[in-house]
Amino acid sequence: MCGESKCCSGGPTLIFSCSGAADVGEIADRAARELTRRGTGKMFCLAGVGGRVPGILKKTGEASNILAVDGCDLDCVKHCLEQNGFTRFKHLRITDLGMQKGQSPATEESIVKVVARGEIVLAS
């Protein structure tokens, strides 16, 4: 699952997450870090994609699988990837899991729920 016109194999699984100011952004960020700790994939720099940093864009293009974790329906992660030519990725939106922006503290229970869903999305 890579972007642009080429399809890559054998590259890493990369995880890009929202890290926005809202509670659902914190949940997305912490879930991505936990997925990395578990070895599910490697959290990677969304700001580098948005800033069009050549090395980050290259490594993103080499990924075999990409998971975009957005906090809310603004889909900032999804749009950032798409605007930089990456269209083949799996997408997870926290508010689709029943959490509400501004009303969902970043509890361990919430993070575990997102991590579990992220593992399922990546496996599909």
CA-based torsion, 90, 50, 74, 16: positive or negative: positive
Provide the Cα torsion 38, 12, 33, 55; round to 10°: 160
Q: Which two tokens stand for residue 6?
A: 């080429």
Beta bridge partners of 66: 14
Top CATH class, 13-123: alpha beta
Q: Is 31 helix (H, G, I), strand (E, B) or coil?
A: helix
Contact residues for 72 (Cβ-Cβ < 8 A; gap 6+): 18, 20, 22, 24, 25, 93, 94, 95, 101
- Spell out the domain ranges in the chain: 13-123
d(CA 87, CA 4): 7
Q: What percent of the chain has pLDDT over 90?
A: 89
Model confidence, pTM: 0.90
Convert the pLDDT of each residue in 27-64 to its tens digit.
999 999 999 999 999 999 999 999 999 999 999 999 99
